Amino acid sequence: MISFLNEYGSELLFKTWEQFYTSALALLFGIAVAVPAGILLTRTSKTAKIVIGIAGMLQTIPSLALLALMIPLFGIGKLPAIIALFIYSLLPILRNTYIGMEKVSPQLKDSVKGMGMTRMQSIRHVEVPIAMPIIMAGIRLSAVYVISWATLASYIGGGGLGDLIFNGLNLFQPDLIIGGTIPVAIMAILVDFVLGKLEKSLAPVTQRK
């Protein structure tokens, strides 16, 4: 272990940062698109099934195939990797946002409307806070997916811990495979833990435990 860290320590740190950076950007873009889209879909229920179905179809595309499809469009490097991971992040966030918003009581919406709140005020101050635990569950799921799938970005020059894993496979060096795999698992667990704490802090007081 010590000899591995002495030889690959600096590279391991850099690849871990690359993995986190790529995953975080893809997830942030996914949140920025999927959360507003999920809220909007609750106002157009007929369109919701179509959009969520399309997002589901995109997620069924094998990850390596999707990464390969990015090359003719965006070349190789981090950009196509981030775009592919962004596409994979959409469905859990979009679906959970839609479900969470749909579960808000219609009576509560009517009460808020009777208090004189506009639709946007109702969404911002009442509906989204109530739906937040379900929305955050989708974000947590997407985060774990994205961090795991980001290892495959190495195939198209996206860097990250996948470089160590695939170099280990090509060179028959188990220490490189293990050295790349363990940080991915730790990163996924830590990110899920942090997002879980954030989920609790964002939940309405009546829903906190």
How do the residues of the chain divide into helix, strand and coil, expressed in percent and rounded to 5? 85, 0, 15
Q: Which CATH superfamily, name and number, covers 2-204?
A: MetI-like (1.10.3720.10)
Please list the pLDDT of the chain residue by residue as tens digits (209 residues).
677 777 777 888 898 899 999 999 999 999 999 999 999 888 887 788 888 888 888 778 887 788 888 888 888 888 989 998 998 899 899 999 999 988 888 888 778 778 878 778 888 888 888 899 999 999 999 999 999 888 888 888 888 888 888 888 888 888 888 888 999 999 999 999 999 988 888 776 655 55
63: tokens are 């990850």
105, two tokens: 């009581």
Rounded to whole angstroms, the Cα distance separating 115 from 5 reads 62
Provide the whole-model pTM: 0.87
Quote the DSSP letter at residue 133: H
